[in-house]
Amino acid sequence: MAQIVKRAYKYRFYPTPEQVSELARTFGCVRLVYNKALEERTRAYTREGRRVSYAESSAALTAWKREEELAFLNGVSCVPLQQALRHPQAAFANFFAKRASYPVFKSRKRSRASAEYTRSAFRWRDGRLWLAKMDGPLDIVWSRPLPEGAEPSTVTVSRDAAGRWFVSLLVEEAIRPLDPSGDVVGVDVGITSLVALSRPIPGVTDQDGKVANPRHERTDRRRLAKAQRSLARKSAGSANRAKARLKVARAHARISDRRRDFLHKLSTRLVHENQVVVIEDLSIRNLVRTHTLARAISDASWRELRSMLEYKARWYGRELVVIDRWFPSSKVCSACGALQKSMPLNIRAWECACGAVHDRDANAAKNILAAGLAER
């Protein structure tokens, strides 16, 4: 039976100069309102020990608009400003529930510029999108179609550090679970190979069940380093420094885009072709403290791969099993179950006393699968 999920479709668009000006003003006002709301909530929490409700924040926004020095807030759509009040509300809820750290203020230079429009602040007609305070529709590049008959409920406009403009359309979509599959797979993440699987998958892995690590950051490292050296030589505040900063941002965007595309394709194949996917519960935060491996671990982006597997398995009726991070998957012989006393990282292949010869990663993937199936 199909399930209804909320799914965001992100597209690139090219605004006109007038739209750029209007969106830039909106971004600035959204950031200001968010910071003022966060300041008020912080003051109430630290000095009075109480929590501020959304109704109080909304009333404060009305009062801010009446102040002479903040009258410019009336020049942009009120909906993104109201939505900006909901974000610190959610951030504090997550903080009090111990799901996140304390909220921080938005910086003009470091924070992502974005504005959120709900249904009353945009018009959607025949595949064209008009935002409040704008005369013409957005020039969107439809890289993939929206689900048939889908009507956006929320539109988020953003500009990344590389100067690219994006619009994200939140729609409700009916996703039908995939037909049951009898295949299961264990996944062991690594650096030399991005992942090793408990069994080879044609078109995805080599004959040993491994997926080569594309090392996107390492591939573009020379280009990124050249752009960063050029940026370091520019005078602060100069136009040339702004251009150099843009080149650095574009180099980072190229790396992250290619990495995300690769992980999406890999996670989709794993979920589509296996009923059960078993992975390890790794502590990435602790692993990146190893300075010799931190750069390679960050480039592999294991956490993003796990996140993709989680929501895709939920969408398509698959099962994702996560085993304990302390399970000695590399030290156990997948043939006889014998536990080795130690297994240094430099040992990539080893022979058990039972005579079985193991590739370290492939053996770990088999043990991860066995442990995951035992926990179900």
332-373 pLDDT, tens digit per residue, is 999 999 999 888 888 989 999 999 999 999 999 999 999 999
Has 173 been annotated as catalytic? no
Distance CA 51, CA 102 (A): 14
pLDDT on residue 111? 79
User: 329 pLDDT band (50/70/90 cuts)?
Assistant: very high
Whether residue 153 has pLDDT greater than 90? yes
Which residue(s) pair with 332 in the sheet? 339
User: 315 pLDDT band (50/70/90 cuts)?
Assistant: very high
Other CB atoms within 10 Å distance of the CB of residue 190: 19
Per-residue pLDDT of 260-298, as tens digits, reads 999 999 999 999 999 999 999 988 888 888 888 899 999
Find the catalytic residue in 22, 217, 299, 361.
361
pLDDT on residue 310? 97
Structural domains in the chain plus CATH codes? 3-175 (no CATH), 184-214+256-375 (3.30.420)
Span 50-68, average pLDDT: 94
Paired tokens of 117: 């429009």
Rg (CA), the chain: 25
Other CB atoms within 10 Å distance of the CB of residue 213: 18
Residue 260, C-beta contacts closer than 8 angstroms, at least 6 positions apart? 304
- 267 by Cβ neighbours in 10 Å (0-12 / 13-18 / 19+) ranks as buried
Paired tokens of 125: 């007609």
Has 280 been annotated as catalytic? yes
Average pLDDT along the chain: 94
pLDDT on residue 266? 96
Find the catalytic residue in 188, 217, 281, 351.
188
Find the catalytic residue in 22, 116, 217, 280.
280
Has 208 been annotated as catalytic? no
pLDDT on residue 117? 98
pLDDT on residue 360? 93
Whole-prediction pTM: 0.89
Span 5-21, average pLDDT: 96
Per-residue pLDDT of 81-121, as tens digits, reads 999 999 999 999 999 899 999 999 999 887 789 999 999 99
Span 218-238, average pLDDT: 95
